[in-house]
Amino acid sequence: MRMPELFRPSRSIYVRLTLWVMLTVLIIFGIITYIVSAVTRDAVVDGTLENTMSRMEISNQRINNVLTGVEVAVENTIPEVESSLETPDKMYDVVRRLLELNPSIVGSTVAFEPDYYPSKGMQFSPYAYKTINGTIETKQLGTAEYEYHYMDWYQIPKLLKRNYWSEPYYDRGGGEQMMTTYSRPLYDKQGRMYAIITADVSLDWLTELVKANDIDFNKKVLHSKDEDVKGELKDDFFFTHAYTFIIGRSGTYIAHPLHERILNDTYFTFAFETENDSIDDHIGYDMVEGKTGMDFICRDGVKYMVTYMPIERTGWSMATIVPTKTLFETKRAFTLSVIGMMLFGILLLFLVCHRIIKHVTKPLWRFANSADEISRGNLNAKLPEVTTNDEMKRLHDSFDQMQTSLVKQMDELKEVNAQKGRIEGELKVARNIQMSMLPKIFPPYPERDDIEIFGRLTPAKEVGGDLFDFFIRDEKLFFCIGDVSGKGVPASLVMAVIRAMFRTIAAHEALPDRIATSLNETMAEGNDSNMFVTFFVGVLDLPTGRLRYCNAGHDQPLLIGGKVGLLPCDSNIPVGVMAGWKFTLQETIIDPQTTIFLYTDGLTEAENLQHMQFGEQRVKETAEKLMKAGEHVPDILIDKMTEAVHAFVGEAEQSDDLTMLGIQYTKQQLNTRLQRSIVLSNDVQEVPQLAAFVDEVCEALDFDAATTMQMNLAIEEAVVNVMNYAYPAGTTGYVNISASVNAVRLKITISDNGVPFDPTAKAEVDTTLSVEERGIGGLGIHLIRQIMDSINYERVDGKNVLTLRKKLT
């Protein structure tokens, strides 16, 4: 066997079989080795844990014996204190005798409450202590520099009303050594505390106790030599030896192999510097809380086993740290020997398997060479002869049939790909045509300061069935959004028809319900495919902010202004479902800076990989965040809403068309600098008064003669039109004409109480036709449109209101 074949297993079955067999054997041996290693490791850990706990319990008992003896000695001294209360100076003898009878106690005081003995002053605390030479001295503990009433050993038992072992400390001015203090409150017969009796216990013996425990543990468990732990500690001591330490309630070291850490460092100081500080920190908190446990930590790249348990009475905690590297030396040697034998056995098995499998699969190798020729495109390559009547014969026959089928399928595939390419090209053209029918230039009306519009349509397939559109006529914004049932080409065809019909109907109809009705009647007629459209159409009067709208089964739009809320909508069926349906008309007033947000159900029903929908609530929450950030202008609103839905959906495929349209009403209120009005009866004889009124307004605005004449023509035509048609013949009525001017434009408002009459509803006059070809009427409103910049009709509170506007410059 050539060695390169081992690195090209995809070219040889016998090599793959050999490697698979070897891999299986490796996995089995690996599992066995892991189990043996784990069992050995657990046994070592369990044995070490049992040994460590046992030694810490012994040390714990020794410590508690000392502390218990101190507590008993203090209790036995209390009667002597009580009998000496009348002679306070005898307290010096009491505390001296306590030290003489108890070698463990290096200092004691009876610290009285402030001014307990007025003759002794504020502080009276007879104190006895052992000197370095072993003699016992006494002194007054309380001084101006050492006000014991504020010390922990006095304050804490007083507040807790119970006995208290203090945190270890180095006593300066007293015992001049590291110690802990046992404090016992004393009470009189009325239950009032009058003093604290203490016993100071030296803790120097704790380090010796811990050191003795470590020496014995290292010799028996780690097989270390005595000289490793004698004298000064070596640099690698903590990497190779077990050691024990004790911490107080705050984590401060009380006993430690490194004396410089005692009372100077805390356990947490070094825990925060470790690679797994969270575990190390967790152990420190468990010890401070008085818990017992075991865990593994890593410091400076060395892993340790930490066993810890509390010391009763004091709130201290003892821990033993053992390096796992040294602990598992025996286990490691055993594991390496098992691995070595396993590798030798695998090598022998590999050689045997390789030779046997290669011999068995040699015929297949020759057949593979012929198959390679076919795979390179030579479908007419000759297959090798197979004389055996086994699987190889069946494979030969199958390849022979495959050659014949492939030739036929290749021809068919070429034809299918050609057809698919034509279809994809046609769909791309259809998409471009569909998207070109929708508004695509934003902002659409850059010259206007009262409206901002932005829209976006994202089809789920090449073409879709969503639509939106808008245009301005006679100072009214006509807009719509719709969702055709179904998807793909059929929906896109219906979408194109609906959009064209909306434009055609809205060109001469201003009421949304009538627009929806006309669309419904046209679509319902001959609707054999049973397709329908959810449709919302609105007409926003730009001068006044009055919104008239009709909702035909579509999602309710959001109004985003001072707050976010749904626009109230009546329940109407979608367009195209049923002929003769009476669609309802609704209206509201849109405040300036309010955004109307319209969308299709592709937004609310967008699903993520868990099939959760984006939903109306998320739409509203996103809109509220944008409103608070002042980002609810249409283009930013739709961009942020798109980002929100994409973040929610993630990698899920878009399942429906997504369409959004935002319209912000931005009308600005300018200060009025001129205001005039006149009231005329519906009598054309009063037209001269109207002319004088118009001349007066034009003169005040410094209009030239030509402009003044045009204004007279337009306003006279509008007023006479009202006089002739607003009131029935023989009925007296009035026409109110008012003029107001701001910094931008002149506004003429003509109102009456007559019958509803909309002069703007008259179709545009085609002036290219001859007089005989044109219909009667319409020239007057045509003249007004030519002279004025805009004309707008509204029926407000039972009145006809016609508004004409003319820019000043």
| Both tokens assigned to 395 | 């494979």
Please tell me the predicted confidence (pLDDT) of residue 339.
Answer: 77
Q: Decide if 536 contacts 551 (C-beta within 8 A).
A: yes
Residue type, position 414, single letter? K
Q: Decide if 558 contacts 620 (C-beta within 8 A).
A: yes
CATH match of 438-665 with 3.60.40.10? yes
Q: Compute the mean pLDDT over every residue in the chain, rounded to the nearest whole number.
A: 82
Q: Decide if 265 contacts 253 (C-beta within 8 A).
A: yes
Higher per-residue confidence, 95 vs 203 = 95
Please tell me the predicted confidence (pLDDT) of residue 166.
Answer: 84
Confidence of residue 771 (pLDDT cuts 50, 70, 90): very low
Please tell me the predicted confidence (pLDDT) of residue 330.
Answer: 60
The predicted-structure confidence for 146-172, as pLDDT tens digits, reads as follows 888 988 889 999 999 999 988 887 766
d(CA 677, CA 684): 18
Please tell me the predicted confidence (pLDDT) of residue 549.
Answer: 97
d(CA 611, CA 716): 65
Intrachain domains 84-202 and 206-327 with the same fold: yes
> In what side-by-side order are the strands of the sheet with 674-681?
674-681, 734-741, 745-752, 799-807, 790-796
Least confident of 41-55, 492-506, 634-648, 695-709: 41-55
Least confident of 376-385, 490-499, 577-586: 376-385
What lies within 8 Å, CB to CB, of 251 at 6+ separation is 266, 267, 268, 284, 287, 288
Strand, helix or coil at 108?
A: strand
Domain ranges of the chain: 3-62+331-371, 84-202, 206-327, 438-665, 674-807
Q: Reply yes or no on whether the pLDDT at 324 is more than 90.
A: no
Confidence of residue 219 (pLDDT cuts 50, 70, 90): low
What are the respective helix, strand and coil percentages of the chain, to the nearest 5?
Answer: 45, 25, 30
Q: Reply yes or no on whether the pLDDT at 384 is more than 60.
A: yes
The whole-number average pLDDT for the span 547-571 is: 94
Evaluated on CA atoms 230, 232, 235, 237, the torsion sign reads: positive
Please tell me the predicted confidence (pLDDT) of residue 566.
Answer: 95
Q: Please tell me the CATH code under which domain 674-807 is placed.
A: 3.30.565.10
φ, ψ of residue 510 to 5 degrees: the values are -105, -10
CATH fold group of domain 206-327 = Beta-Lactamase (3.30.450)
Q: Reply yes or no on whether the pLDDT at 489 is more than 70.
A: yes
Confidence of residue 224 (pLDDT cuts 50, 70, 90): very low
Q: Decide if 213 contacts 88 (C-beta within 8 A).
A: no
Higher per-residue confidence, 207 vs 96 = 96
Higher per-residue confidence, 67 vs 349 = 67
Q: Reply yes or no on whether the pLDDT at 204 is more than 80.
A: no
Q: Decide if 111 contacts 141 (C-beta within 8 A).
A: yes
Q: Reply yes or no on whether the pLDDT at 396 is more than 90.
A: no
Per DSSP, the residues of 229-287 read GSSSPPTTHHHHS-EEEEE-TTSBEEE-SSGGGTTT-BHHHHHTTSTTHHHHHHHHHHH
Please tell me the predicted confidence (pLDDT) of residue 644.
Answer: 94
Q: Reply yes or no on whether the pLDDT at 200 is more than 80.
A: yes
The whole-number average pLDDT for the span 742-764 is: 84
Strand partners, 478: 471, 539
d(CA 737, CA 805): 13
Q: Is-cis flag, bond preceding 185, omega within 30?
A: no
d(CA 632, CA 96): 85
Least confident of 127-141, 346-360, 541-555, 759-773: 759-773
The whole-number average pLDDT for the span 432-460 is: 86
Confidence of residue 587 (pLDDT cuts 50, 70, 90): very high
The closest alpha carbon to 142, from 105, 162, 117, belongs to: 117
d(CA 129, CA 201): 11
Please tell me the predicted confidence (pLDDT) of residue 667.
Answer: 81
The predicted-structure confidence for 637-659, as pLDDT tens digits, reads as follows 999 999 999 999 999 888 888 99
Please tell me the predicted confidence (pLDDT) of residue 776.
Answer: 46
Q: Reply yes or no on whether the pLDDT at 368 is more than 80.
A: no
Which run of H or E residues covers position 87? none
Please tell me the predicted confidence (pLDDT) of residue 402.
Answer: 74
Least confident of 89-103, 560-574, 579-593, 770-784: 770-784
CATH fold group of domain 84-202 = Beta-Lactamase (3.30.450)
Q: Reply yes or no on whether the pLDDT at 295 is more than 60.
A: yes
Percent of the chain at pLDDT > 70 equals 81
Strand partners, 588: 547
φ, ψ of residue 209 to 5 degrees: the values are -65, -45
Cα distance from N-terminal residue to C-terminal residue, the chain: 97
d(CA 723, CA 681): 8
Higher per-residue confidence, 409 vs 176 = 409
Residue type, position 200, single letter? D
